[in-house]
Structure 1
Amino acid sequence: MGKIYDRIDDRLRTFIEAQPVYFVATAPEQGGHVNVSPKGYPDTFTVLGDTTVAYLDLDGSGVETIAHLRQNGRITIMFCAFSGPPNIVRLYGTGRVVVPEDPDFPGLLERFGPHPGVRSVIVVECDRVADSCGFSVPFMSFEQDRALLDEWAQRKDTQAKRAYRAKNNRESIDGIPGLSPEETDPASVHS
């Protein structure tokens, strides 16, 4: 049924890149709330190497993933086939948060499609790549991406983005530090 892989081979890469949605899971070191975030926009995820992936972190209502990664680095990314043959791929690993001030940021940003409201890039070194059957995952039809997040980010001016990030992105729901004050100051970063 399931298989563990040494790396993200071409078949897995093709499957991953074809999925219109993926899920990111993180948790605090002890206690607290486990977080699972659905991510859309397929051009926000990229395979950087055999065991390295990255995704574009856009403005959102919380900062759980960033806070958890900075605390303990643990992350799992899951892709499900909602059409075609059943399949689930999970990428387990250690993530790091790359913010606009980091030297790696510009090169990473070039890997993604155009989106406003960029907070960071999450880079994951995978220590386990596995698939499983997905036999019970339902068939679902993809109609189109929702443009609402990009539209929301485009409507906010710098002051409004700064205020939003200061209120919602400084710490997780469990009080774990997220983005620092200088990191919540949006420089109108677009990918």
Structure 2
Amino acid sequence: MVKFYPSISEDLREWIFEQSLFFVASAPRTGKHVNLSPKGHPSHTLSLLTPTQAAYLDATGSGCETISHIYEPRNARVTLMFCSFGPSPRILRLFCRGRVIEKGDAEFGGWVRKMVEGGMEAPGGLEMEGGSGAGMDAEEKDETTEKGEEDGKMHLKAIRAIILLDVFKVQTSCGFAVPIFPSSSPPTSSSDGPEVSELLSPVPTSGYANRATLAKWTSFMVKKDGSLEPYRTGNNFRSLDGLPGLRSARRGRGEWVGVEGVLQWGRRVGGMWEGVLVGMVLMMVLMVVVGRL
């Protein structure tokens, strides 16, 4: 029951915003690790800007895998996955190519506003940003550090980047093996046909809720260090496979971002020495064979 689409239809868009969370997957071109991260309520962190373009707010965390994989030359592969934990089963994947817009970039503020226009709830602190192109740190201007996220809103203090995604393929599948989690949503008919609708069952009334932990941790770190920049500098400068991470973090460590990009290219090419060696041997063999003809 797998189906593919070239873009996000209106009914899939509505379904996406009804889900409680989504997952982001990425990987380096070479390396040992494939990253998979859960993300919060789509309505609070995700925006569908067009049928083929999406974006989500990337909160400060202990790693920077997705950012590093997008920055890696000739990579930028990202997959978003949504799945229903309610009575109507479905899995949806967005296959994308990504771009990182860091908080310090001049276009950051403008993209946040575009995301709000695309369906995302306005994050806390947005009113403190300047014009549509402002990229200033709201955390340096917000003195209400005790404010939590009980209302479910992400605050700009906690955000380190926007991940902008160009969607080139959409996939849906049955999701029959995904367990049901208590939800306040009643059973509905399935888009996969009446035979699937017959499998739907009622579930207890309960559900997911946003944590206030991120806001409280952010407030603590802002009080302690003045902002989240020291934390990002210490934790978000490299991926698990050694790829360059958040540019602002690398600058904070005194790295030359442009030079590091050249070195990364050199390491990537150097890692292909086996293929280069095999190619040279085959070329020599071919020259010998041709010379004897």
Judge same fold: TM > 0.5, yes or no.
yes
Aligned length: 185
Corresponding residue of 1:189: none
Say whether 1:96 aligns with 2:99: yes
Pick the structure with greater CA Rg. 2
Measure, in 1, the Cα distance between the counterparts of 2:56 and 2:166: 12
Identity of aligned residues (%): 42
Measure, in 2, the Cα distance between the counterparts of 1:103 and 1:164: 22
Measure, in 1, the Cα distance between the counterparts of 2:181 and 2:6: 30
Report the CA distance between 1:182 and its aligned residue: 5.7
Measure, in 2, the Cα distance between the counterparts of 1:79 and 1:184: 35
TM value normalised by structure 1: 0.90
TM value normalised by structure 2: 0.60
Pick 1 or 2: higher relative contact order, CA cutoff 8 A, min separation 6: 1
Q: List gaps (5 residues or longer) in structure 2.
A: 117-121, 125-154, 183-206, 253-293
- 1:90-144 Cα shifts (integer Å, max 9, x gaps): 0001000011233431122122432131100001001111100001100012231
Q: 1:143 aligns with which of 208, 216, 221?
A: 208
Contact 1:169 1:184 in 2 (8 A): no
Say whether 1:129 aligns with 2:130: no
Greater Cα offset, 93-102 or 175-184: 175-184
Measure, in 2, the Cα distance between the counterparts of 1:123 and 1:99: 11
Secondary structure of residue in 2 paired with 1:93: strand
Higher helix share: 2
Corresponding residue of 2:230: 163
Greater Cα offset, 54-63 or 93-102: 93-102
Structural RMSD (CA): 1.7
Corresponding residue of 2:56: 55
Query: Alpha carbons of 1:128 and 1:32: their partners in 2 closer, same or farther (altered >3 Å)?
Result: same
Higher strand share: 1
Q: List gaps (5 residues or longer) in structure 1.
A: 186-191
Measure, in 2, the Cα distance between the counterparts of 1:93 and 1:27: 13
Query: Alpha carbons of 1:184 and 1:56: their partners in 2 closer, same or farther (altered >3 Å)?
Result: farther
Measure, in 1, the Cα distance between the counterparts of 2:249 and 2:61: 17
- 1:155-187 Cα shifts (integer Å, max 9, x gaps): 2125462221111100111111001246776xx
Query: Alpha carbons of 1:48 and 1:160: their partners in 2 closer, same or farther (altered >3 Å)?
Result: closer
Secondary structure of residue in 2 paired with 1:151: helix
Corresponding residue of 2:131: none
